[in-house]
């Protein structure tokens, strides 16, 4: 068994490398399409600890759980171009937040429906999943760490996140064939798509540049400086109930600083790959969380799976109702949904299926989800906690 923290670090990095290397192999592309790399980053360490390759408890896991999350958030949010998101248009912003609203209210609703069949602390799991379905994997981990979601709940929830989330993406893509009929039914003015396309073309990203030593050193400094200072500041603030802990304050502060820094020249680090560095930190954290998880938790999946399906339907209903009321094109409904449920990886794919020139809209909406996700996830967690006490 590998027990030294350095050995564990090396092993988890090796697993992440193998997983993503395999995902780029052509004949394995279909396999990873339905079982994406991120789920293996969680499950392979879990299997490794189950068979005794690495331990289930280690000082390394404690360190990653404490410091990597706020540091990763700081880097991931450097690309949050708020002015661009605002310029996407009033209807786009309404539809995005409608999708988030559907997730926030859907959490306590499914909690109320299924709470007699769920564990006592299931609200912590539902709260964590709401973070993923608003802001992606980073937000899921942020909310989970903030509210103390047990590792035993994360295994079934990651299964639900993957199966239901990607299943919904398939449904959304299938419905693209009917977007003209839906838009006609909703009496949509198609000119909004032309306007969005023009705005995106005017706001093209700068050309990427090669990563150099100075940029990389700056990324590492910014990440850990923001992470450590945010945690120290969080320790000075009062805890509020069971949701807002000292660590939660630290995550909120790190998220806010990351958004603020996105307005500075430091945002140009995105051109050198700050998102990739942030994602690596996130995957290492996810791998360490997986190593601590109990594989037995997978068998709790069925009730969570049904809960997830109903939750997605609540989210979809909110989008369709509001979309009809404000006459938003189906493109915005679908992209807003995937920006919430799927995140930066899949939202551009769905956007391009509906309107080939507007893939960046999906990415920008997903970035908005990264910003709003921690706040929305914590709000949903609070509502689920209140429902659990009924």
Residues 6+ apart with CB under 8 A from 250: 70, 230, 231, 232, 233, 234, 235
pLDDT at 14: 96
Distance CA 66, CA 61 (A): 8
In eight-state DSSP terms, residue 35 is S
Distance CA 266, CA 200 (A): 22
Q: Where are the alpha helices (DSSP H) in the chain?
A: 5-23, 29-34, 37-50, 59-63, 69-76, 82-87, 90-114, 122-135, 137-147, 151-174, 179-185, 191-202, 213-236, 246-261, 274-292, 301-326, 330-341, 347-354, 359-388
Distance CA 209, CA 25 (A): 26
267-298 per-residue burial string, b: 16 or more CB within 10 A, e: under 16: bebbbbbbbebbbbbbbbbbbbbbbbbeeebe
Tokens 């988890």 — which residue?
12
Report the sign of the C-alpha dihedral through residues 236, 237, 238, 242, in that order. Answer: negative
Residues 6+ apart with CB under 8 A from 69: 138, 141, 142, 145, 227, 251, 282, 285
Contact 2, 53 (CB under 8 A): yes
Helix, strand, or coil (residue 229): helix
How many CB atoms within 10 Å of residue 375?
Answer: 19
Contact 336, 365 (CB under 8 A): yes
Distance CA 366, CA 344 (A): 5
Q: What is the pLDDT along the chain (390 residues), one digit of tens a residue?
A: 898 999 999 999 999 999 999 988 988 887 887 677 877 888 899 899 989 999 989 999 999 988 988 898 888 888 766 666 666 678 888 999 999 999 999 999 999 998 888 888 889 999 999 988 998 777 888 888 888 888 778 778 888 887 888 788 878 888 888 888 888 888 887 776 666 666 655 655 555 678 889 999 999 999 999 999 999 999 999 988 656 788 888 888 988 898 899 889 998 888 888 888 988 998 898 889 888 877 666 666 788 889 999 999 999 999 999 999 988 888 889 989 988 887 766 677 788 778 766 766 776 777 777 778 888 999 999 999 999 888
pLDDT at 367: 73
């Amino acid at each position: 068994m590998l027990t030294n923290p350095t050995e564990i670090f090396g092993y988890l990095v090796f697993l992440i490398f193998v997983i993503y290397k395999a995902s780029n192999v052509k004949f394995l592309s279909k396999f990873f399409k339905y079982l994406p790399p991120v789920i293996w980053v969680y499950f392979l360490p879990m299997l490794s600890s189950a068979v005794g390759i690495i331990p289930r408890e280690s000082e390394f896991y404690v360190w990653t759980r404490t410091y990597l999350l706020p540091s990763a958030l700081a880097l991931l949010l450097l690309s949050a171009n708020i002015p661009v998101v605002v310029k996407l248009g009033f209807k786009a912003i309404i539809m995005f937040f409608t999708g988030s609203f559907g997730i926030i209210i859907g959490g306590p609703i499914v909690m109320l429906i299924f709470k007699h069949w769920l564990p006592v602390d299931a609200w912590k799991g539902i709260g964590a999943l709401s973070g993923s379905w608003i802001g992606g994997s980073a937000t899921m981990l942020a909310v989970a760490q903030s509210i103390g979601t047990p590792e035993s709940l994360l295994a079934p929830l990651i299964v639900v996140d993957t199966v239901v989330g990607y299943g919904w993406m398939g449904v959304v893509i299938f419905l693209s064939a009917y977007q003209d009929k839906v838009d006609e039914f909703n009496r949509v003015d198609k000119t909004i798509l032309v306007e969005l396309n023009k705005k995106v073309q005017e706001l093209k990203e700068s050309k990427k540049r090669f990563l150099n030593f100075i940029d990389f050193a700056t990324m590492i400094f910014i990440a850990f400086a923001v992470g450590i200072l945010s945690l120290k500041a969080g320790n000075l603030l009062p805890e509020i109930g069971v949701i807002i802990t000292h660590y939660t304050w630290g995550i909120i502060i790190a998220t806010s600083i990351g958004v603020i820094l996105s307005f500075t020249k430091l945002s140009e680090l995105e051109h050198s790959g700050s998102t990739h560095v942030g994602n690596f930190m996130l995957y290492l954290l996810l791998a360490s969380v997986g190593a601590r998880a109990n594989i037995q938790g997978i068998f709790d999946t069925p009730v969570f799976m049904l809960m997830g399906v109903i939750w997605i339907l609540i989210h979809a209903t909110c989008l369709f109702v509001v979309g009809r009321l404000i006459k938003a094109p189906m493109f915005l409904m679908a992209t807003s949904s995937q920006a919430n449920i799927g995140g930066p990886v899949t939202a551009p794919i769905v956007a391009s299926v509906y309107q080939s020139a507007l893939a960046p809209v999906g990415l920008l909406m997903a970035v908005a989800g990264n910003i709003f996700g921690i706040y929305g996830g914590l709000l949903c967690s609070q509502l689920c906690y209140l429902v659990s006490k009924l």
